[in-house]
Amino acid sequence: MKIAVASDHAGIDLKLPMLEVLKERGIEFTDFGTHDHNSTDYPSWGELVGKKVASGEYEKGLLFCGTGIGISLAANSVKGIRAVVCSDVFSAKMSREHNNCNILSLGARVVGVGLAAEILNAWLDTDFEDGGRHQRRVDMLIDIQDENMK
Ligand code: RB5
């Protein structure tokens, strides 16, 4: 699995320890930026990772900003993306199992490093429940994007 990663300046302090989690798990990733605390615009980073995942170049994405919200909204503006902001482990699991989310977004001003690592591990460990009603509903989401996004 290859993961595309990015953050804005507000997310970088949570991103760096989460990259260590990926390294410990032996997961290949690319951290596209930002690489310092200079103010930067979260929409650009969310779009970049969204495109990397939507194109199939990367299987999943990981995003960080202050709340996780803005950067996830940017990613969700890319056709093919289902990005979720999570502050709890249960939602992280469900976002994979039921929604087949392909990007996880975390808020550095919302969750601490310990909780974020639990959320990330749960998200990575949980597979989509293929087939059945969850597949049908995710297919509906894909159809909605197909109809409403270019
Ligand atoms: C930056 O101050 C902050 O607005 C951004 O990181 C994010 O939280 C937006 O949703």
Q: Sorting pLDDT into bands at 50, 70 and 90, what band is 150?
A: confident
Full set of structural domains in the chain with CATH? 2-148 (3.40.1400.10)
Centroid of ligand 1 to alpha carbon of 11 (angstroms): 8
- Which tens digits make up the pLDDT trace of 60-74? 999 999 999 999 999
Nearest CA to ligand 1 atom 4: 66
- What's the pLDDT score for residue 120? 99
* pTM of the shown model: 0.98
- The verdict on the CB of residue 122 being under 6 Å from ligand 1 is no
- Would you please indicate which residues are annotated as catalytic (active-site) residues? 65, 98
Give the angle 18-82-20 at the CA atoms, nearest 5°. Answer: 10
Centroid of ligand 1 to alpha carbon of 44 (angstroms): 12
Residues 6+ apart with CB under 8 A from 134: 97, 98, 99, 100, 128
Mean pLDDT of the 1-12 span: 98
Work out which ligand 1 atom sits closest to the CA atom of 69: 10
- The verdict on the CB of residue 10 being under 6 Å from ligand 1 is yes
Centroid of ligand 1 to alpha carbon of 85 (angstroms): 13
